[in-house]
Chain A
Amino acid sequence: MVPLSWYVLLSAALFTIGVVGVLSRRNVFIILMSIELMLNAANINLIAFSHYLQNLTGQIFVIFVITVAAAEAAVALALIILLARNRGTVYVDEFNLMKG
């Protein structure tokens, strides 16, 4: 019998790793994958609470989160292809087009 707090701690750790990845990496692919990591941390939380509250709403929300993640991945990867084609790089600190 696993306590609920273990799941919350796992999800918190995963979310923090995702935040650090988004903020510190230069490669835009790793940034996007870190965003997926944070969405997965939220999913673990939702399913854990759904299980312990004995309510299916959390699982429904996980389906919606996965839907949004799929759409986000498709659009974001199209944007990356466009950026790489126009600017010739995938490093976010070289995308300083709007810098004064």
Chain B
Amino acid sequence: MINQLIFLYFAAVIIVSAVLMVTRRNPIHSVMFMLLLFFHIAGVFVLLNAEFLAAVQLIVYAGAILILYLFVVMLLSVDRETQAVRANRFWPWLVGFGFVIAAEISLLVLRGTFPANRGQAVKYPGAGVRELGVELYTKYLVPFEIASVILLVGLVGAVMLAKKKTNE
């Protein structure tokens, strides 16, 4: 019961801040709503017994990615944003389309059968950071190394793209 109330609070804040994030005119306000959203998604992760990933969500998403966004938004000019048109001319159709997609997914989910109440009460042996690390470094070692290569590509690519052209 208390878990359901906590989940409903998190879900309500997530949905409201996502809608505000998409609709705000000023990108800095959008980044702030995104911060609120990430904190509450981390709360949902804690509710699902994924404490390590909640910490990763806060450190990587809210701490690194969002700050990067904020830097670039502030680097480029935001003074034009206050009178610019927010959406392209198809937006009413697109919003209707979004409601149709959401209704369809909800219909499918509500008509389907899920193993409703398995888990959750019992904390299974193997939900901690240690088990996650063992799994990551034994069974998923090759994908882990590939992920490091992806990060290297991101690093080199970002520096390559954003550096100023020097005239020889």
Contacts and interface: CB of A to CB of B under 8 A. Distances in A.
Indicate whether A and B interact.
yes
Given A63-B136, A66-B56, A25 B4 contact: no
Nearest to B8: A6
Given A19-B98, A73-B68, A24 B41 contact: no
Contacts of A3: 114, 116-117
Contacts of A75: 153-154, 157-158, 161
A33 B70 CA distance: 11
Q: How many interface residues does chain A have, given as a range?
A: 35 or more
B115 A4 contact: yes
Looking at chain A's contact residues, is the secondary structure mostly helix, strand, loop, or mixed? helix
Nearest to B90: A24
Nearest to B150: A71
B56 to A, nearest CB: 6
Nearest to B15: A13
Contact of A64 (B18, B38, B98, B147): B147
Contacts of A37: 18, 21-22, 34, 37
Contact of B68 (A44, A66, A77, A90): A77
B53 A10 contact: no
A71 B135 contact: no
Given A37-B22, A54-B124, A78-B160, 12 more contacts: A1-B121, A4-B114, A27-B84, A37-B21, A51-B49, A56-B131, A66-B60, A77-B69, A80-B72, A81-B72, A81-B76, A82-B161
